[in-house]
A and B are shown apart, each in its own frame.
Chain A
Amino acid sequence: MADHRPVVGAGENPLAELELILESDPLIDEVGFIHPTQLASLSGEEGVDAPGPKNPRFWSRDGKLGISTEVLLPLYKEARRAFFDAVRDFRTRCGSGGDGGDGGVGSEVMKHSRALLLVSSDFGTAWNSRKLVASKEESFSMYMDELRLSELILSYSPKSDQAWSHRRWVIKRIAGQTSSLPEIIMKESELVEKIAERSKMNYRAWNHRCWLVSYMTKERVMYELKESKTWAGLHVADSSCFNYRRRLMTRILEDLCCKDGVSSVDYSFEVYQCWKDELDWDEILIKRYIGREGLWLYRRFLSLCWIRHFTTHAHSTSCNSNYIAEQTTDPSFFLDKELDLVGSSLVVQDDHFDDFQAQALYSTTYILWLAKQMPSPLEIELRQRLTARNMNDLLSEFCPNSSFLCGSSAEDTK
């Protein structure tokens, strides 16, 4: 691609200029709206002899496209007008029965909607007309173009719901029609991680990744669990990312319980091991990052599933029990481990940042919540252990509102 182009010859019309840039450089992967002074200084770096207009409105180089904030409004108005004109033409052409030869009009819609979406990412009508045109063409390369455009828009608007849902629409259309789906799913997953790095707490991005899970193979799910571990460990405040792990963990359980699928002993052991590793890893994080609610909430999920599926006391909920019977553990052992963790979390080392208090509170609510969710024989056992460890008073101290929960335990043990 040619390096830089303050485009000449596009006249005063910013829309034509923008479309020319987009046409001539399909590798643009990032858009930004920039201040005229920044634009001027960027253009200035390219040498005094740059043949551009005196007052540049666009800058593009190395796959980055900068649009001057001054031109945004006229650009938007012009793009919207051109887009609606193109849509009207397209409708009349389709209506008059010329649906075979609509290439020209369809491409006008695509051209103008692209420019429009670049300046207004949540313009639903524009996204929908793209869907309409693309679904008439049914060409694989066109669907890939849609993914690229959506990625470009996410580069400056990472939380755009429309852009994310457009991706899901494309994947649904091509699923079952192409052999490269696993590769596409992989790229989608990587895209989410890339965008999550840039925009914190991006629910929509992670929601998209959760959605992808149902298209993943068993092996891919295991791989994702391993791959995203480091990232999750460094972003413990990002609950969405733990939600994604929850989805993955649920999926491996589903695969295990799947009645018609033949799950081997090897696989059930793998799942068991994976679950155990996850619990240990969560504990390490809890001890490293004091007072993170997300980690405790994630632990609730892990522990409850562990009790239901991997311990001997588990009742009917456990599936495939003949496979995992060999590896099941004594629930008492598990309870002891959890109580050790909660016990150590109740020690407040200093009160500079309130984090130890938070830790104590979260651990208290965790264990009380777990008690309520467990099968009743286990609950009674847990309550007895709490009493034996003299932890009831501590628990009610850190979580005064829980007195009714603790109270019931006192009655149970009488």
Chain B
Amino acid sequence: MKITSLLVLKINPDGSDPIILANAADVSHFGYFQRSSVKEFIVFVGRTVAKRTPPGQRQSVQHEEYKVHSYNRNGLCVVGFMDDHYPVRSAFSVLNQVLDEYQKNFGDSWRSVSADGAQPWPYLNEALTKFQDPAEADKLLKIQRELDETKIILHKTIDSVLARGEKLDSLVEKSSDLSAASQMFYKQAKKTNQCCTIL
């Protein structure tokens, strides 16, 4: 039961890569040398999923042992990296809460933001710590009724979110979010995740 990261992004109407408005991540449970790669991947996958979440939609994407949940509210998108076991309903009530808080704090000023991470936002880190326990998120669930309105779309792999003809491998190769080390990390992980290579 773990939230690794929460991101708030601005979706560009012209279809270019979304801009990261705020980003909180807890990578302490990763090995020291993996942490920088993990952070890069969070940014990369976060952008990839957010870009493909149409306005008004909620979706959950399974990516390895993670579930990436995302919710796009009129161009303002929130993405959460939870592990497989974090209850989906609780996850979306956290996302909802984050968006509410964001709009309370910044209003519509995000529409004019044009670069990553321009607004520091301590609340996101607090939320990341607090909602590690899904019981905290469930307290929100009781007040949020809005959740039931739209159905959550589940994707079994990140590839199923991608448009026809797009491939994760080639996105990884092209991405400027990922360093050479991270790309190697990705290839290695892919190799070891294949069945029966070691055992």
- Mark A residues whose CB is within 8 Å of B: 30, 32-35, 37-38, 41, 64, 66, 69, 155-156, 197-198, 200, 234-237, 288-290, 352-353, 355
Which of B1, B29, B180 makes the CB contact (< 8 A) with A35? B180
CA distance A66 to B29 in the complex (A): 18
B98 to chain A, nearest CB (A): 20
B138 touches A288 (CB 8 A): yes
With A37-B180, A155-B31, A352-B152 as contacts: A289 and B65 at CB distance below 8 Å:
no
User: What are the residues of chain A within 8 A of B48 when measuring CB–CB?
Assistant: none
Answer yes or no: B151 CB below 8 A from chain A CBs. yes
Given A34-B33, A288-B135, A237 contacting B152 (CB threshold 8 A): no
Instruction: Let me know if B181 and A35 touch, CB within 8 A.
Output: yes
Min CB–CB distance A354 → chain B (angstroms): 10
What are 21 residue pairs bridging A and B, where the CB atoms are less than 8 Å apart in the complex?
A30-B31, A30-B32, A34-B181, A35-B180, A35-B184, A37-B181, A38-B33, A38-B36, A38-B180, A38-B181, A64-B33, A66-B33, A155-B31, A200-B65, A234-B133, A235-B1, A235-B85, A237-B1, A237-B84, A352-B88, A355-B87
Assembly CA distance A290 to B180 (angstroms): 41
B interface residues (Cβ-Cβ under 8 A, vs A)? 1-2, 29-34, 36-37, 65, 83-85, 87-89, 132-135, 138, 151-152, 154, 179-181, 184-185
**Residues of B contacting A236 in the complex (Cβ-Cβ under 8 angstroms):** 1, 85
Contacts of A66 in B (CB 8 A): 33
Cα A208 to Cα B164 in complex, Å, equals: 48
Q: How far is the CB of B122 from chain A (nearest CB, A)?
A: 24
State which of A64, A197, A289 has its C-beta within 8 Å of the C-beta of B29. Answer: A197
Chain A's closest residue to B32 (CB) is: A64
Find chain B residues with CB under 8 A from A237 CB: 1, 84-85
CB proximity of B198 to chain A, nearest CB, Å: 10
- Within 8 Å CB of B89, what residues of A? 353
Closest to B65 in A: A200
Question: Which of B29, B30, B151 has its CB near the most chain A CB atoms (within 10 A)?
Answer: B29
Question: What distance in Å separates the Cβ of B67 from its nearest Cβ neighbour in chain A?
Answer: 11
The interface residues of chain A lying within 8 Å CB-to-CB of B180 are 35, 37-38
User: B37 — which chain A residues lie within 8 A by C-beta?
Assistant: 38
B32 touches A198 (CB 8 A): no
CA distance A353 to B86 in the complex (A): 13
User: In the complex, A37 Cα to B33 Cα: how many Å?
Assistant: 12
CB-contact partner of A38 in B31, B138, B179, under 8 A: B179
Query: Which chain A residues lie closer than 8 Å to B30 at the CB level?
Result: 198
Q: In the complex, what distance in Å separates the CA atom of A25 from the CA atom of B132? A: 36
| Cβ-closest chain A residue relative to B135 | A288
What chain A residues lie within 8 Å of B85 (beta carbons)? 235-237, 289
Which residue of B has the minimal Cβ distance to A201? B65
Q: How far is the CA of A32 from the CA of B33 in the complex (A)?
A: 6
B151 touches A156 (CB 8 A): no
A35 to B180, CA, bound (A): 8
* Contact yes or no, A353 B88, CB < 8 A: yes
B133 lies within 8 A of A289 (CB) = no
State whether A198 and B65 are in contact (beta carbons under 8 Å apart), knowing that A289-B87, A352-B151 are contacts in the complex. no
A355 to B181 alpha-carbon distance, docked (Å): 39
Task: Give chain B residues whose Cβ lies under 8 Å from the Cβ of A156.
Answer: 31
Contacting B31 at CB < 8 Å: which of A32, A35, A41? A32
Question: For B152, what are the chain A residues with a Cβ–Cβ distance below 8 Å?
Answer: 352
Q: How far is the CA of A38 from the CA of B132 in the complex (A)?
A: 30
Query: Which residues on the A side are within 8 Å of B84 (C-beta)?
Result: 237
Given contacts A34-B181, A236-B85, A352-B151, contact A289 B34 (CB under 8 A): no
Chain A residue at minimal CB-CB distance from B185: A35
User: Given the complex of chains A and B, what is the CA–CA distance between A69 and B187 in angstroms?
Assistant: 14
Complex Cα–Cα for A66 and B138 (A): 41
> Residue of A at shortest CB range from B138?
A288
A289 touches B31 (CB 8 A): no
Whole-angstrom distance between the Cβ of A176 and the nearest chain B Cβ: 36
> In the complex, what residues of B have CB within 8 A of residue A30's CB?
31-32
> Across the interface, do B33 and A289 meet the contact criterion of CB distance under 8 Å?
no
For the complex with contacts A34-B181, A237-B85, 8 further pairs of A-B residues with Cβ separation under 8 Å are A34-B33, A35-B181, A37-B179, A64-B33, A234-B1, A235-B1, A235-B85, A353-B88
Given contacts A38-B36, A237-B1, contact A198 B181 (CB under 8 A): no
Tell me which residues across on chain B come within 8 A of A38, comparing CB atoms.
Answer: 33, 36-37, 179-181
Measured in the bound complex, the distance between the Cα atoms of B83 and A197 in whole Å is 12
Q: How many Å lie between the Cα of A237 and that of B134 in the bound state?
A: 13
Shortest Cβ distance from residue B183 to the other chain A in the assembled complex, whole angstroms? 9
B133 to chain A, nearest CB (A): 6
Q: Are the CB atoms of B134 and A288 closer together than 8 Å?
A: yes
Q: List the B side residues contacting A37 at CB < 8 Å.
A: 179-181
Question: How many whole Å from B88's CB to the nearest CB in chain A?
Answer: 6
Lowest 8 A-B CB distances belong to which pairs?
A32-B33, A38-B181, A35-B181, A237-B85, A37-B180, A234-B1, A35-B184, A64-B32
Q: Measured between alpha carbons, how far is A34 from B181 in the docked complex, in Å?
A: 8
CB nearest to A284 among chain B residues? B135
In the complex, the answer to whether B33 meets A290 with C-beta atoms within 8 Å is: no
A152 smallest CB distance to B (angstroms): 12
A289 to B36, CA, bound (A): 32
For B83, the chain A residues whose CB sits under 8 A away are: 200
Considering the complex, give the chain A residue whose CB is closest to the CB of B30: A198
Q: How far is the CA of A3 from the CA of B184 in the complex (A)?
A: 28
Residues from chain A with a CB closer than 8 A to the CB of B132 are 234
B196 → chain A, closest Cβ, in Å?
16
The smallest C-beta distance from A298 to any residue of chain B, in angstroms, reads 15
